[in-house]
Chains A and B, each alone.
Chain A
Amino acid sequence: MSRVILHCDLNNFYASVECLYRPELKNKPVAVCGDPEPRHGIVLAKNQIAKIFGVQTGEAIWQALKKCPDLVILKPNYPLYLRFSKLAQQIYSQYTDLVEPFGIDECWLDVTQSTKLLGDGRKIAYEIKERIKYELGITVSVGVSYNKVFAKLGSDYKKPDAVTVISKQNYQEIVWSLSVSSLLYVGPSTEKKLIFHGIKTVGQLAQTPVEYLKKILGKWGEILWIFANGLDTTPVLPPLFDENIKGIGNSITTPRALVNFEDAEYVLYILADSVAQRLRRQHLKCTTIQVWIRDNFLFSITRQEKLSQLTYLAREIFKKSVEIFRKNWTFKTNVRSLGIRATDLVGEFEMQQLNFDYFKKCKLESLEKTLDTLRRRFGQFCVQPALFLTQPSLKSNPIDEHIIHPISYFK
């Protein structure tokens, strides 16, 4: 029996929720934007009217205002969006227990078994669409198909407030005429490569010999060929199965440019501290540290190095990241954003080689765990390194600010 997969995508999510709470903005162009003060001023979401003016997600506020001078700019309210996301997931879970979130506003649902009781995929999709509109006051686009990739394409195909069914009979007609960029995991760089080789549509991609695609794109060539031909068999997994964390990282776009090593070390400590806290929370230790640096011209580099010992200590992550930073950055240009990522993760009780510092390290671990308890009970800044008092203009709290984490399709 062929699977029945739904992909539900809440339309213009942040902007729709804001407009619901402010009916006076109903007929105005609205954009939810980051705070321009700490240089986070980009469009995060826009409503349908702003879309008509050409406002795009990801562009700077000044660019959006140039296109649409009457644009109403709102600050994001993440707790409210998380609440709506949870409410939507509660509705989905009344149709199946196989609900897999893909970001805050998207979910896959495997309703294969439910079709026996509730009717076919199209009927379930329409019912969900109407319930979301009535109960949450926002709209959703639903794609119905027999695999996850086509279901996602379906939800993108017609927007807002629409249902698109892509079946084994009609997929060539609907999907194959779309441009390759509409396929999951075809980003601007892959699209450019494909177009260079004369592959402009999903249909052309599907009909290109897989060996040729492998030559152009490596293993991704085969994956995309499978996607384009509707042969994807990835199951819909509920979040409980998402145990295999590959890395934990945080990055910050700082309120002002970082002009010297002292500035950079300050921000690296904030990041190391938050990454270490998150590692301890998940009972994981890391063996590799990656540092990501982006300068004022939006040029970025990522460098990584192995640690000699497993760790979840902020001071060790900090020490290594400073080492990496100093080796790879000379401040010819100022730094705009910095990030640290801990990878090659293992369980905290993994066996490891003992050394003379073992007992000292145990003491430090216990000290940082105590800090975690204090912060959990009395707030993130109840105890803080004296360093944090030196440059309040760069102070940030990634632990509480970065609450929405990206999700990978390949778990």
Chain B
Amino acid sequence: MRKVFVDVYAHFSKDGVLTPISFVWIDGKTYEIDKIIEKKNAAAFKAGGQGIRFKCMVYGKMVNLFYDDGKWFLEI
């Protein structure tokens, strides 16, 4: 399990709700987030860190995307 920092395209609603739309993987490709299943504060025990955890479906695969104090990372 490792931690990969990524660039994220996200949407901030006028109510202040943060929703990630897509992210750029290390190979430079942009991956759309199909669905956000859960949004919760959580610790990333295996990769190390803590933040708002978005459980996302990306191309049929579940990934944990964390927003940790202004930075985004994936626990993979």
Contact = CB atoms under 8 A, between A and B. Distances in A.
A135 B50 CA distance: 8
A359 interface: no
Interface stretch (B20-28, B29-37, B40-48, B55-63): B40-48
Contact of B69 (A83, A134, A136): A83
A195 interface: no
A22 interface: yes
B42 A135 contact: yes
A21 B45 CA distance: 8
A22 B48 contact: yes
A138 B69 CA distance: 17
A134 B50 CA distance: 10
Contact of A21 (B40, B42, B46, B48): B48
B41 A135 contact: yes
A137 B43 contact: yes
Q: Which 4 A-B pairs have the closest CB atoms?
A: A137-B43, A135-B41, A23-B48, A21-B48
Contacts of B45: 20, 23, 137
B69 to A, nearest CB: 7
User: Which size bracket describes the interface of A in this complex?
Assistant: 10 to 19
Contacts of B49: 20-21
A301 interface: no
Contact of B46 (A23, A83, A84, A87): A23
A137 B46 contact: no
Interface of B: 40-50, 69
A135 B48 contact: no
Interface in A10-32: 20-23
Interface string A60-93: 0000000000000000000000011001000000
A133 B46 CA distance: 14
A302 B54 CA distance: 54
Contacts of A22: 48
Contacts of A84: 50
A87 B41 contact: yes
Nearest to A90: B41
Contacts of A23: 45-48
A135 B46 contact: no
A160 to B, nearest CB: 15
Contacts of B48: 20-23
Nearest to A134: B42
Contacts of A134: 42-43
Contacts of A20: 43, 45, 48-50
Nearest to A24: B48
Nearest to A137: B43
Nearest to B50: A137
Contacts of A133: 43
Contacts of B40: 135
Nearest to B47: A23
Interface in A136-164: 136-138
Contacts of A138: 43
B55 to A, nearest CB: 14
Interface string A28-60: 000000000000000000000000000000000
